[in-house]
Amino acid sequence: MTATQAPAGTGRVKASTRRPWTPSQIVLTLLGVAVSAVWVAPLAWALFTSLKSETEAVEVPPHWLPEVWTAQAWKAIFDTGNITDWFVNSLVVSVCVTTIVLVVSALAGYGFARTEFRGKGALMGLVMAGLMVSPAVLGVPLFTTVQQMGMVDTYWGMILPQCAPAAMVYILYKFFQGIPRELEEAAFIDGAGRWRVFFTIIVPLSRPSLSAVGIFTFIASWNNFLWPYMVTNNPDLMTMPNGIATVMNSYGIQWAQLMAGGLMAGLPLIIVFVFFQRQIVAGVAHTGLAGQ
Amino acid sequence: MTTTTPGAALTPASKSLRTLSAGDTDSLRARTGRRLQHGGWFVAPFLVLFALFVLWPVLRGVYLSFTDANISGTGEHFIGIDNYREALNDPVVWESLGHSAYFTLLVVPCITVLAFLMAMLAHHIERAKWLWRLCFFAPFLLPSTVAANLWQWLFNPGTGMINYVFGIDTAWLTDKSYAMLAIVICTLWWTVGFSFLLYLAALQSIPDHLYEAARLDGANAWHRMVHITLPMLRNITGLVIALQILASLQVFDQAVVMQDFGTGPENSTRTFVQYTLEEGFTTYRVGYASAISIIFFVIIAAVALARMWLLRNREEGAR
Each residue of A142-191: pLDDT tens digit? 999 999 999 999 999 999 999 998 989 998 998 898 888 888 888 888 88
Q: How far is CA A283 from the centre of its chain?
A: 10
Give the residue from chain A lying closest to B284, CA to CA: A140
Q: Which of A148-162, B158-172, B289-303 has the lowest mean pLDDT?
A: B158-172
Residues of chain B in contact with residue A183, where contact means CB-CB under 8 angstroms, are none
Q: Given pLDDT bands bounded at 50, 70 and 90, which one contains residue B319? A: low
Instruction: Select from A100, A238, A88, A203 the least CA-distant residue to B52.
Output: A100
**Which of the pair, B74 or B171, is modelled with greater confidence?**
B171
- Rounded distance, CA A41 to CA A64, Å? 10
Does pLDDT of B34 surpass 80? Answer: no
A residues 16..55 contacting B (CB < 8 A)? 19, 25, 28-29, 31-32, 35-36, 39-40, 42-43, 45-46, 49
The pLDDT assigned to B27 comes to 52
CB-CB under 8 Å, B49 with A163: yes
Does pLDDT of B9 surpass 90? Answer: no
Q: Which of A17-26, A194-203, A225-234, B277-286 has the lowest mean pLDDT?
A: A17-26
Residues 6+ apart with CB under 8 A from A166: A127, A128, A130, A131, A133, B50, B54
Q: Given pLDDT bands bounded at 50, 70 and 90, which one contains residue A39? A: very high
The pLDDT assigned to B14 comes to 38
The pLDDT assigned to A265 comes to 93
The pLDDT assigned to B256 comes to 94
The radius of gyration of chain A from alpha carbons, rounded to an integer in Å, stands at 25
When pLDDT is averaged across residues B183-204 and rounded to a whole number, the result is 94
Comparing CB atoms, the residue among A45, A161, A277 nearest residue B133 is A277
How many residue pairs bridge chain A and chain B with CB atoms within 8 Å of each other? 295
- Rounded distance, CA A290 to CA A288, Å? 5
Q: Given pLDDT bands bounded at 50, 70 and 90, which one contains residue A94? A: very high
Comparing CB atoms, the residue among A42, A133, A160 nearest residue B154 is A42
Does pLDDT of A9 surpass 50? Answer: no
When pLDDT is averaged across residues A10-31 and rounded to a whole number, the result is 71
Whether chain A has a CB inside 8 Å of the CB on B197: the answer is yes
Neighbouring-strand partners of residue B67: B78
Does pLDDT of A203 surpass 90? Answer: yes
CB-CB under 8 Å, B153 with A116: no
Comparing CB atoms, the residue among A49, A138, A266 nearest residue B57 is A138
Whether chain A has a CB inside 8 Å of the CB on B281: the answer is yes
CB-CB under 8 Å, A104 with B135: no
- Look over chain B and give the mean of its residue pLDDT values, rounded to a whole number: 86
When pLDDT is averaged across residues B67-91 and rounded to a whole number, the result is 88
Q: Is the peptide bond before A61 cis (omega within 30 degrees of 0)?
A: yes
CB-CB under 8 Å, A291 with B136: no
Neighbouring-strand partners of residue B78: B67
Whether chain B has a CB inside 8 Å of the CB on A92: the answer is no
Q: Which of A276-285, B173-182, B204-213 has the lowest mean pLDDT?
A: A276-285
- Rounded distance, CA B227 to CA B239, Å? 20
Tell me the nearest-neighbour CA distance from B244 into chain A, angstroms. Answer: 12
The pLDDT assigned to B311 comes to 83
How far CA B218 is from CA of A193, A246, B214, B222, in Å, comes to 59, 60, 6, 11
CB-CB under 8 Å, B143 with A240: yes
Could you tell me if residue A117 is left (phi over 0), alpha (psi between -120 and 50 degrees) or otherwise beta?
beta
The pLDDT assigned to B89 comes to 95
Burial grade of A238 (CB within 10 A; 0-12, 13-18, 19 or more): buried
Q: Are B149 and A240 in contact (CB under 8 A)?
A: no
The pLDDT assigned to B76 comes to 84
CB-CB under 8 Å, A31 with B39: no
Does pLDDT of B126 surpass 70? Answer: yes
The pLDDT assigned to B317 comes to 67
Give the residue from chain A lying closest to B33, CA to CA: A116
The conformation of residue A81, written as its DSSP 8-state character, comes to S
The pLDDT assigned to A71 comes to 92
CB-CB under 8 Å, B137 with A281: yes
Does pLDDT of B12 surpass 50? Answer: no
Burial grade of A175 (CB within 10 A; 0-12, 13-18, 19 or more): buried
B residues 219..238 contacting A (CB < 8 A)? 235-236
Q: How many CB atoms lie within 10 A of CB A182?
A: 8
CB-CB under 8 Å, B297 with A277: no
Does pLDDT of B158 surpass 90? Answer: no
Burial grade of A173 (CB within 10 A; 0-12, 13-18, 19 or more): buried
Q: In B27-42, which positions are buried (b, 16+ CB within 10 angstroms) versus exposed (e)?
A: eeeeebeeeeeebbeb
The pLDDT assigned to B118 comes to 96
DSSP-derived 3-state class of residue B175 = coil
Q: Given pLDDT bands bounded at 50, 70 and 90, which one contains residue B17? A: very low
Does pLDDT of A83 surpass 80? Answer: yes
The DSSP H or E segment spanning A122 is helix A120-130
The pLDDT assigned to A69 comes to 94
- Rounded distance, CA A178 to CA B93, Å? 45
- Rounded distance, CA A45 to CA A50, Å? 8
Q: Given pLDDT bands bounded at 50, 70 and 90, which one contains residue B83? A: very high
The radius of gyration of chain B from alpha carbons, rounded to an integer in Å, stands at 28
Instruction: Select from B140, B98, B56 the least CA-distant residue to A160.
Output: B56
Q: Are A108 and A200 in contact (CB under 8 A)?
A: no
Q: Which of A27-41, A241-255, B218-232 has the lowest mean pLDDT?
A: A241-255
Residue A12 corresponds to which amino acid? R
Threshold 0.90, pTM exceeds: no
- Rounded distance, CA A165 to CA A151, Å? 19
Whether chain A has a CB inside 8 Å of the CB on B141: the answer is yes
Residues of chain A in contact with residue B121, where contact means CB-CB under 8 angstroms, are 28, 31-32, 35
